[in-house]
Amino acid sequence: MSARILVAEDDVKQARLIRIYLEREGNEVQIVADGRSAVDRARSSRPDLIVLDVMMPNVDGLDVCRILRAESQVPILLLTARATEEDMLLGLDLGADDYMTKPYSPRELTARVRALLRRAKAAGRTESAVLAVGDLEVDTSRFEVRVAGEPVVLTGKEFAILTVLAGEPGRAFTRAQIIDRVFGFDQNVLERTVDAHVMNLRRKLEKGRAGTRYVETVYGRGYRLSNGVGEVR
């Protein structure tokens, strides 16, 4: 079972060893050495699975896991030197699918990767992850958005915000919650930045659809995706 696998590991020797074993299985492997690059590469290359080291520079693996899980169902295997039960549970609670502590056997790692890929294929996670609300469809595996069947081109941040909102239609998210899920490691984002992205998102979703409201403002709270998406009001 060949797959596109992203390995985020700052230890050069470990990364090389993982690549060797995974490529022996026929997989296409990409390597990045820090958390920020892991997020960017995952968004641009859409891997079938991510092997993610917890202790990395710039942004640690737990933050990477949290950010990516908010916008994708890609299987994530965490690697860490932290061996306590609390650390393991934290990683799983953030959305990791499996967890291995260092030192580990490369053969066991490849076996776990195979198992995660089989599980994802059976569940259809890597083939289709479409959030459908009314006439709005958000395909998180293909990074595509359609309104009434027509494609809508969004920026990466607009897509990430829409994914958060579409994951729980009707729930009101504060600007701080959106910043945490979408921008994650960037601590300098202002709430008005979220407002600007939402304004552009609305304009693109509602273009040519007078009276239709997709993203609603919840005064004193933030934003939510309307449960009645596609209804003219």
Note the pLDDT tens digit of each residue in 55-91. Answer: 888 888 888 998 888 777 889 999 988 766 676 777 7
At residue 123, the pLDDT reads 62
Q: Which amino acid is at 55?
A: M
At residue 43, the pLDDT reads 86
Tell me the whole-structure pTM to 2 decimals.
Answer: 0.60
At residue 122, the pLDDT reads 67
At residue 2, the pLDDT reads 81
Specify the DSSP class assigned to residue 168.
Answer: S
The span from the CA of 88 to the CA of 157, in Å, is 30
The span from the CA of 6 to the CA of 43, in Å, is 11
CB atoms within 10 A of CB 157: 18
pLDDT band at 186 (very low <50, low <70, confident <90, very high): low
The span from the CA of 55 to the CA of 62, in Å, is 9
Q: Which amino acid is at 202?
A: R
The span from the CA of 152 to the CA of 165, in Å, is 16
Give me the residue label for tokens 């915000």. 161
How buried is 114 (Cβ within 10 angstroms: 0-12 exposed, 13-18 middle, 19+ buried)?
middle
Positive or negative torsion for Cα 172, 175, 177, 182: positive
Structure tokens at 100: 């291995």
Task: Give pLDDT tens digits for 23-61.
Answer: 999 999 999 999 999 999 998 888 999 999 998 888 888
% of the chain at pLDDT higher than 70 = 89
